[in-house]
Amino acid sequence: MRPKVQEFRLYPTFDDTAKTPEAPIVQPSKVTQQHDKVSINEVQQQDASPSLAQVYREEELMSEEELQRKQQQIEREMCMYKERFDHVAQALAGGTPHQIEERKKREVERLERQGKRYETVETRLQHQIERLEEREERRARIQARHHQASRSPSPSSAYEGRDDSAEDNGRGKQE
């Protein structure tokens, strides 16, 4: 006997007699519901800042001294926030003393490296000039030797050449 196998169709078939399909209803888990309730409570607590109408009522109930103190506190906070904002803007613009000092230091280091490069190039060029001058001197000496050798033999070599030819002539006659 064959085991019971659930029928599975590769391709869906169109059946217009069936009722219209409905999307399954997904029930959220209890954990997510609890999390949502907690996050809603947190948002409500964060938004617990008094409304504008409540602030005006409180100010009406405050004495002049309390109003002045509160206004001074607000001004101090505004100054503090303005200083922070100015510092952030200055930092973004690269204008803090630390950033300026770092730029100067990098510029000095860059100039030192550039100076060393110039010295190295200068030394290399000096060595190349010296080698070129040495080559020119050698070439001039070699050309001078060739020039002297090609012009005329030296007097001593001329006499040696004549003596050899005279001896050859004399031997030839003796034989």
Residue 152's contacts (CB-CB under 8 Å, 6 or more residues apart) are 158
Radius of gyration of the chain (CA): 53
What was the pLDDT predicted at 103? Answer: 95
Summary mean pLDDT of the chain: 77
Contact present, 87 and 96 (Cβ < 8 Å):
yes
Rounded Cα gap, residues 61 and 56, in angstroms: 9
Domain coordinates in residue numbering, the chain: 53-93, 109-148
Indicate if the pLDDT at residue 146 is higher than 50: yes
pTM listed for this prediction: 0.37
Choose between 156 and 51: higher pLDDT.
51
Tens of pLDDT, residues 53-91: 776 677 677 788 888 999 999 999 999 999 999 999 999
Indicate if the pLDDT at residue 39 is higher than 50: yes
Q: Is 155 exposed, middle or buried (0-12, 13-18, 19+ CB in 10 A)?
A: exposed
Choose between 125 and 65: higher pLDDT.
125
Indicate if the pLDDT at residue 175 is higher than 50: no
Compute how many other C-beta atoms are within 10 angstroms of the C-beta atom of residue 153: 13
What was the pLDDT predicted at 104? Answer: 96
